């Protein structure tokens, strides 16, 4: 039978997020910047996140019978954290880990799955560009273009933004709307690493790293851990600490043709992102008009423009106008990355966005609360891969 | 005669030899699939269109059109001082080729501008010598 996203019904409304745990991003960042020796590694950050998520959910470690490890190596984390599991697997991206978790729960392999993420990128000095950039055969383009100096992830996005500027007339000032709005959200978030509001003047003074992208368009690099606890809807209803937040939809999208030549990216990742967004909408039974707040994988701010178009929030080439007229910051009609995102809160590979979506849907986001948040949508787009998840309140 | 530049050495994987041997002779050759004619880049063991392992190293035109660019202001490599203009241009034969325009001015660029590949002697930072290719505005 040919692929049909309408058939993706088995995963929706079977699992709910009942616990979130995040480490103290600000304190760990400050310690690393002060060059204090690290006090723990990625497994330690994973453990802190798990402990906080268990407390949040009102569960014990012995209640966890399934685990999906994200980024942190799964066999070792299971050992270090002393987990006794029936189901265990590793994933990297949010939509991958969430798919494994809901499949484990819906198939009966596990009832209570901890999605455990931890990283120590800042204290371990991980490099994303230059002679010591992380690379492997899986991502050939991270080192293939060394002779011309083109190795950094930011540069790979800057060429897409430059093409978008040429094609659709996007201006530097308009790119600035994104980091400025996210910093305004972060100023309302005590967990955020960068909390001082920034102005357009600050943005335009921010140095170019790989033009057209500036330092303020780049995400942070910091250590930390995030855990989400996902369980069956039945069990979720019996837990009393918080209202359960239902996993409504998960979408995948791929476009690998000539990926190392950046062809999908230079096409604004339209194929892969459209696929991922549509799959998540179909599975959730909602559309862009139902979404209360939007979250994205903001390793670089320029991506938001073509992403909004690819998700069906606005027409091709109209994202800057959409952002300007709707407003994406506090008080705006289209809230985006309400915790500050990876630009201003913390770089947790999109996992901190998941925690914030849960807080918004619980109604626990304090001064950042989006009134009557019903559905939150998260989108990521990396190289040839897009992923999309939608969470909602229990109806 | 200006001094020969040093640049970070290229990756030299199992399929990359013929590319750099050709570049050292001032030619740009890529693998063209013997079965379906598709030109692939960077070099790889199979054709992504038809999975054939048979190919020939075909001489490319060296003519391309600009798809995008960026300018590095942060210095990532000791051998490449900023600002460095890097251009992504689509070769007539299909592949998108990344290379810099040394001393180039981004304000002269626009989408679809014709460019051509040029070759220059280089010392790689692993101690070997050869040629590197750059993009240049087509005159």
Q: Please provide the size of chain A in residues.
A: 395
* A137 plus A183 within the same structural domain: yes
pLDDT band, very low/low/confident/very high, at B2 (cuts 50, 70, 90): low
From B131, B134, B133, B135, select the one nearest B123 (Cα to Cα).
Answer: B131
Q: Answer yes or no: are the C-beta atoms of A235 and A111 closer than 8 Å.
A: yes
Q: Do B70 and A147 touch (CB under 8 A)?
A: no
Q: What is the CATH number of the domain that holds A148?
A: 3.40.47.10
* A346 plus A276 within the same structural domain: yes
* A115 plus A210 within the same structural domain: no
Query: What token pair was written down for A147?
Result: 């002779």
Q: Answer yes or no: are the C-beta atoms of A225 and A12 closer than 8 Å.
A: no
Burial pattern A249-278, b for ≥16 Cβ within 10 A else e, equals bbbbbbbeebbbbbbbbbbbbbbbbbbbbb
Q: How far is B7 from chain A (nearest CA, A)?
A: 6
**A269 DSSP 8-state letter:** T
* A177 plus A138 within the same structural domain: yes
pLDDT (tens digit, 9 = 90+) per residue, A32-63?
Answer: 889 999 899 999 999 999 999 999 999 999 99
Chain A residue nearest residue B9, CA to CA: A147
* A107 plus A19 within the same structural domain: yes
Backbone angles phi, psi at A228, to 5 degrees: -115, 135
pLDDT band, very low/low/confident/very high, at A204 (cuts 50, 70, 90): very high
Residues 6+ apart with CB under 8 A from B133: B23, B28, B99, B117, B118, B119, B120
pLDDT of residue A113: 98
B112 interaction partners in chain A (CB closer than 8 Å): none
A213 interaction partners in chain B (CB closer than 8 Å): 70
Q: Is residue A4 part of a domain?
A: no
- How many beta-carbon pairs below 8 A join chains A and B? 107
Q: Do A149 and B73 touch (CB under 8 A)?
A: no
Residues 6+ apart with CB under 8 A from A31: A39
Q: Do A210 and B9 touch (CB under 8 A)?
A: no
B100 interaction partners in chain A (CB closer than 8 Å): 148-150
Q: Is residue A369 part of a domain?
A: yes
* A129, A207, A210: residue with CB nearest B70: A210
User: How many domains does chain B divide into?
Assistant: 1
Region A141-166: mean pLDDT is 95
In A, what residues contact B, Cβ < 8 A? 129-131, 140, 143-152, 155, 158-160, 162-163, 166-167, 207-213, 257-258, 260-263, 266
Q: Do B10 and A262 touch (CB under 8 A)?
A: no
The dihedral over CA atoms of B70, B76, B80, B84, expressed in degrees to the nearest 10, equals: 20
pLDDT of residue A9: 67
Q: Do A262 and B72 touch (CB under 8 A)?
A: no
With a cut of 90, say whether residue A207 has pLDDT above it: yes
Q: Is residue A174 part of a domain?
A: yes
In chain A, pLDDT over 90 holds for what percent of residues?
88
State in Å, rounded, how far the first CA of chain B is from the last one. Answer: 23
Greatest Cα pair distance in chain B: 47
Region A324-344: mean pLDDT is 98
- Average pLDDT over chain A reads 95
Q: Is residue A163 part of a domain?
A: yes
Q: Is residue A278 part of a domain?
A: yes
Looking only at the bridges linking them, the beta strands covering B5-7 and A385-393 are unpaired
Interface check B111 vs A, CB under 8 A: yes
pLDDT (tens digit, 9 = 90+) per residue, A66-123?
Answer: 999 999 998 999 999 999 999 999 999 999 999 999 999 999 999 999 999 999 988 8
* A271 plus A363 within the same structural domain: yes
Q: Is residue A285 part of a domain?
A: yes
Q: Do B42 and A266 touch (CB under 8 A)?
A: no
pLDDT (tens digit, 9 = 90+) per residue, B7-43?
Answer: 999 999 999 999 999 999 999 999 999 999 999 999 9
* A113 plus A75 within the same structural domain: yes
Q: Is residue A5 part of a domain?
A: no
A262 interaction partners in chain B (CB closer than 8 Å): 88, 96, 98
pLDDT band, very low/low/confident/very high, at A240 (cuts 50, 70, 90): very high
* A61 plus A159 within the same structural domain: no
* A209 plus A353 within the same structural domain: yes
* A177 plus A32 within the same structural domain: no
Residues 6+ apart with CB under 8 A from A111: A65, A66, A105, A231, A232, A235
User: Distance (Å, rounded) from C-alpha A243 to C-alpha A18?
Assistant: 8
pLDDT of residue B113: 98
- Write A285-289 long-range contacts (CB < 8 A, 24+): A285/A12, A285/A248, A285/A249, A286/A248, A286/A249, A286/A375, A286/A390, A286/A392, A287/A312, A288/A312, A288/A313, A288/A377
A130 interaction partners in chain B (CB closer than 8 Å): 76-77
Q: How far is B139 from chain A (nearest CA, A)?
A: 22
Q: How far is B8 from chain A (nearest CA, A)?
A: 5
pLDDT of residue A132: 77
3-class DSSP state for residue A309? helix
A210 interaction partners in chain B (CB closer than 8 Å): 70-74
User: Distance (Å, rounded) from C-alpha A198 to C-alpha A175?
Assistant: 14
From B139, B129, B134, select the one nearest B4 (Cα to Cα).
Answer: B129
User: How many domains does chain A divide into?
Assistant: 2
| Domain interval for residue A99 | 11-119+223-242
Interface check B95 vs A, CB under 8 A: yes
Region A8-13: mean pLDDT is 79
* A54 plus A195 within the same structural domain: no
Q: Answer yes or no: are the C-beta atoms of B96 and A258 closer than 8 Å.
A: yes
**A175 DSSP 8-state letter:** H
Q: Do A148 and B98 touch (CB under 8 A)?
A: yes
B69 interaction partners in chain A (CB closer than 8 Å): 159, 162
With a cut of 80, say whether residue A347 has pLDDT above it: yes
Match 């998960």 to its residue by tokens: A250
With a cut of 90, say whether residue A130 has pLDDT above it: no
| Domain interval for residue B36 | 5-137
* B9, B67, B98: residue with CB nearest A145: B98
Q: Answer yes or no: are the C-beta atoms of A66 and A101 closer than 8 Å.
A: yes
With a cut of 60, say whether residue B1 has pLDDT above it: no
Q: How far is A372 from chain B (nearest CA, A)?
A: 42
Q: Do B111 and A163 touch (CB under 8 A)?
A: yes
User: Distance (Å, rounded) from C-alpha A163 to C-alpha A321?
Assistant: 18
Mutate to test the interface with A, among B68, B85, B103 (most CBs of A within 10 A): B68
A146 interaction partners in chain B (CB closer than 8 Å): 8-11, 77
What are the Cα distances from residue B44, in Å, to B12, B26, B130?
A: 12, 22, 22
Chain A residue nearest residue B66, CA to CA: A163
B71 interaction partners in chain A (CB closer than 8 Å): 208, 210-211
User: Distance (Å, rounded) from C-alpha B135 to C-alpha B115?
Assistant: 6
pLDDT of residue A141: 84
- E-assigned strands of chain B? 5-7, 29-33, 39-40, 55-59, 63-72, 84-91, 96-100, 114-124, 129-137
């Amino acid at each position: 039978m040919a692929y049909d996203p309408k058939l993706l019904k088995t995963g929706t409304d079977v699992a709910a997020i009942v616990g979130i745990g995040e480490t103290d991003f600000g304190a760990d960042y400050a310690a690393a910047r002060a060059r204090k020796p690290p006090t723990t590694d990625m497994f330690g950050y994973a453990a802190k996140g798990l402990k906080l998520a268990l407390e949040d959910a009102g569960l014990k470690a012995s209640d966890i019978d399934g685990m999906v490890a994200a980024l942190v190596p799964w066999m070792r984390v299971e050992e270090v954290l002393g987990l006794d599991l029936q189901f265990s697997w590793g994933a990297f991206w949010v939509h991958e880990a969430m798919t494994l978790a809901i499949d484990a729960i819906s198939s009966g392999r596990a009832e209570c799955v901890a999605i455990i993420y931890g990283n120590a990128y800042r204290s371990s000095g991980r490099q994303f560009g230059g002679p010591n950039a992380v690379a492997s055969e899986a991502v050939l383009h991270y080192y293939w273009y060394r002779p011309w100096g083109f190795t950094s992830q930011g540069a790979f996005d800057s060429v897409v933004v430059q093409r978008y500027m040429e094609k659709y007339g996007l201006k530097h000032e308009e790119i600035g709307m994104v980091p400025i709005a996210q910093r305004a959200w972060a100023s309302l978030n005590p967990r955020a690493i960068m909390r001082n509001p920034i102005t357009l003047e600050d943005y335009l003074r921010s140095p170019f790293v790989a033009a057209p992208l500036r330092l303020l368009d780049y995400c942070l690099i910091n250590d930390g851990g995030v855990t989400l606890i996902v369980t069956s809807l039945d069990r979720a209803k019996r837990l009393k600490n918080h209202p359960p937040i239902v996993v409504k939809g998960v979408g995948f999208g791929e476009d690998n043709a000539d990926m190392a030549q950046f062809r999908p990216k230079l096409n604004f990742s339209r194929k892969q992102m459209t696929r991922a967004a549509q799959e998540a909408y179909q599975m959730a039974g909602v559309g862009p008009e139902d979404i209360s707040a939007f979250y994205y994988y903001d390793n670089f701010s320029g991506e938001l423009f073509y992403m909004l178009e690819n998700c069906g929030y606005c027409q091709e080439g109209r994202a800057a106008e959409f952002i300007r007229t709707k407003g994406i910051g506090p008080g705006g009609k289209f809230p985006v990355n309400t915790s500050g995102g990876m630009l201003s809160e913390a770089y947790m590979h999109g996992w901190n966005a998941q925690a914030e979506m849960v807080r918004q849907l619980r109604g626990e986001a304090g001064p950042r609360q989006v009134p009557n948040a019903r559905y939150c949508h998260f989108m990521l787009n990396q190289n040839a891969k897009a992923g999309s998840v939608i969470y909602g309140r229990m109806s | 005669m200006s001094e020969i530049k040093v640049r970070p050495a290229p990756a030299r994987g199992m399929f990359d030899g013929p590319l750099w041997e050709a570049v050292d002779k001032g030619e740009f050759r890529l693998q063209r699939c013997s079965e379906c004619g598709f030109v692939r880049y960077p070099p790889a063991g199979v054709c992504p269109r038809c999975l054939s392992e048979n190919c020939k190293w075909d001489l490319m035109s060296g003519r391309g059109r600009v798809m995008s660019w960026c300018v590095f202001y942060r210095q990532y490599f000791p051998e490449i001082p900023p600002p460095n203009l890097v251009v992504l241009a689509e070769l007539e034969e299909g592949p998108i080729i990344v290379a810099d325009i040394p001393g180039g001015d981004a304000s002269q660029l626009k989408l679809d501008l014709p460019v051509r590949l040029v070759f220059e002697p280089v010392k790689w930072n692993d101690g070997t010598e050869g040629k590197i290719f750059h993009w240049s505005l087509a005159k």
